[in-house]
């Protein structure tokens, strides 16, 4: 059995996989409910309707830190010393094991992102009728924002996998990583702007999640969406390489 088939078969048979996916969809739907209720009316600005369906009430989509911490914590059980030998007995080549996990995680995250948008559109329809979803799908930025949302979710899940592999699913480390988009980077940005020379303050926009948020932007100053995607992809790639090396050298 190939590593990818083994990983997909294992994930499908775990109850935690389905419970985690349903919890993420429920959280995304709840965030959209809050966002559309706060909006009070269907947005008319360019791209704002589709932004509302993907991002929730804050700058960063609620699904992003949620899927990051979920995937990181999911690594805990398998990375314990009593479980790791069983995995490596079935699949001795560790690089293939990690690659299979990466592919499975990315595929699952993309599926959850698409289902989340569909669920959020259904929630918006309950509040505003069909007007908001129709407005969202027909606006010019919609394809780019939706593609950015799916890519953002996939990268966050892959980053969560890497963090989970490095830390063996340690809860404190996973929660600390999830706190970065929720407030950690804002505190860093505030500190830099308060004490750093003007020449260095522009580096704030290259903070990973702050840059990635530009993938969903419809206006405003900051990095271009592709530049933001490149920054977050590079960050994820670096952490993934570290995780792969760590996993390859880890004693079972």
Burial class of 35 by CB neighbour count within 10 A (0 to 12, 13 to 18, 19+)? buried
139: left (phi over 0), alpha (psi -120 to 50) or beta: beta
Report the pLDDT value the prediction gives residue 176, as an integer from 0 to 100.
Answer: 80
Extended beta strands in the chain, E state: none
Say what the pTM is: 0.85
Are residues 162 and 73 in contact, defined by beta-carbon separation less than 8 angstroms? no
Burial class of 205 by CB neighbour count within 10 A (0 to 12, 13 to 18, 19+)? middle
Report the pLDDT value the prediction gives residue 183, as an integer from 0 to 100.
Answer: 72
Q: Please report, in tens digits, the pLDDT of each residue of the chain (252 residues total).
A: 576 676 666 666 667 778 888 999 999 998 888 887 777 666 655 567 777 778 665 578 889 989 998 988 887 766 665 556 656 665 567 778 888 889 889 999 999 999 999 998 888 888 777 777 777 777 667 788 888 999 999 999 999 999 988 887 677 877 787 777 767 777 877 777 777 677 667 777 888 888 888 888 776 666 788 888 999 999 999 999 999 888 877 665
Angle at 69 (CA atoms; ends 64, 74), nearest 5 degrees: 130
DSSP 150: H
How many angstroms separate the CA atoms of 86 and 78, rounded?
9
Are residues 236 and 211 in contact, defined by beta-carbon separation less than 8 angstroms? no
């Amino acid at each position: 059995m190939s590593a990818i088939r083994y990983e997909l078969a294992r994930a499908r048979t775990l109850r935690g996989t389905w419970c985690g996916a349903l919890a993420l969809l429920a959280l995304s739907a709840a965030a959209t409910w809050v966002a559309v209720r706060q909006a009070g009316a269907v947005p008319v600005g360019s791209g704002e309707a589709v932004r509302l369906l993907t991002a929730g009430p804050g700058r960063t989509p609620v699904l992003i830190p949620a899927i990051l911490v979920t995937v990181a914590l999911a690594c805990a059980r398998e990375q314990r010393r009593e479980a790791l030998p069983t995995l490596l007995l079935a699949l001795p080549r560790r690089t293939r094991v990690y690659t299979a996990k990466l592919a499975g995680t990315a595929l699952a995250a993309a599926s959850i992102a698409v289902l989340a948008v569909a669920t959020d559109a259904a929630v918006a329809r309950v509040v505003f009728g069909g007007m908001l979803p129709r407005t969202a799908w027909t606006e010019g930025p919609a394809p780019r924002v939706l593609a950015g949302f799916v890519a953002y979710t996939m990268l966050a899940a892959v980053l969560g996998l890497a963090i989970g592999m490095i830390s063996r699913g340690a809860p404190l480390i996973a929660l600390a990583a999830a706190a970065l988009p929720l407030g950690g980077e804002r505190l860093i940005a505030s500190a830099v702007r308060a004490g750093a020379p003007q020449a260095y303050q522009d580096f704030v926009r290259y903070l990973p999640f702050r840059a990635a948020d530009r993938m969903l932007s419809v206006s405003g100053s900051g990095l271009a969406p592709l530049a933001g995607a490149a920054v977050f992809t590079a960050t994820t790639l670096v952490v993934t390489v570290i995780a792969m090396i760590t996993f390859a050298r880890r004693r079972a």
